[in-house]
Amino acid sequence: MEKFTTLSGVAAPMPLVNIDTDMIIPKQFLKTIQRTGLGKNLFDEMRYGADGTEIPEFVLNQPAYRKAEILIAGDNFGCGSSREHAPWALLDFGIRCVISTSFADIFYNNCFKNGILPITLPREQIDILMEDARKGENARIEIDLESQTVTSADGQSFHFEIDPFRKHCLLNGLDDIALTLEKVSAIDAFESREAQSRPWV
């Protein structure tokens, strides 16, 4: 998993509330177990028409936001079914951070497992960042995980809370597998002891 330390990027404004995981990645794209390749279908039903052509009005189809790395979203982002494909699709598109007033719990947890930083901020701060994001590609938002700050393009800084263990994992690029591998010597020692004391197991 790629480390997350700092991020300076274009933020796409998505003020819709209750964006669920089926909107993020529709069910017909859940057949794969690959984490790559889903970015092209991110927000598929909002990005493309029935004939497969792009809908120009959708924010990620607009030139200023085609390479957005941050989403400024409405309330309750990531609600709905518990599909890990949702953060996979966001990450494959290039989104490394989602900022909202609230997230669905399962989606929130899945973000950390896949190297995406979900940030919760109060409504008034989200409103400021949403307006900032509407300025387009020249308005870059700065995120510093170590200091737990989000800084708008005009220099306003907001502090966010994060669980210390999750922060440690993101800063060091540790997913569940990497965390297990950190204990490999202890696991090997345990297996060796067990093989000697209980060879019949």
> What domains sit in the chain, N to C, each tagged with a CATH number?
6-197 (3.20.19.10)
Give the global pTM: 0.88
The number of beta carbons lying within 10 Å of the beta carbon of residue 122 is 10
Which amino acid, 105?
Answer: D
For the record, the structure tokens of 10 come out as 């274009």
The span from the CA of 132 to the CA of 156, in Å, is: 10
Q: Say what angle helices 164-172 and 105-113 make with each other, to 10 degrees.
A: 40
- Quickly state the pLDDT bin for 32 (edges 50, 70, 90): confident
CA distances from 45 to 58, 66, 184 (A): 10, 17, 44
Give me the phi and psi of 34, to 5 degrees please.
Answer: -85, 140
pLDDT of 155 reads 93
Name the percent of the chain lying above pLDDT 70. 93
CB 18 within 8 A of CB 76: yes
- Quickly state the pLDDT bin for 182 (edges 50, 70, 90): low
The average pLDDT across 154-170 equals 96
CA distances from 23 to 30, 81, 101, 163 (A): 13, 11, 18, 28
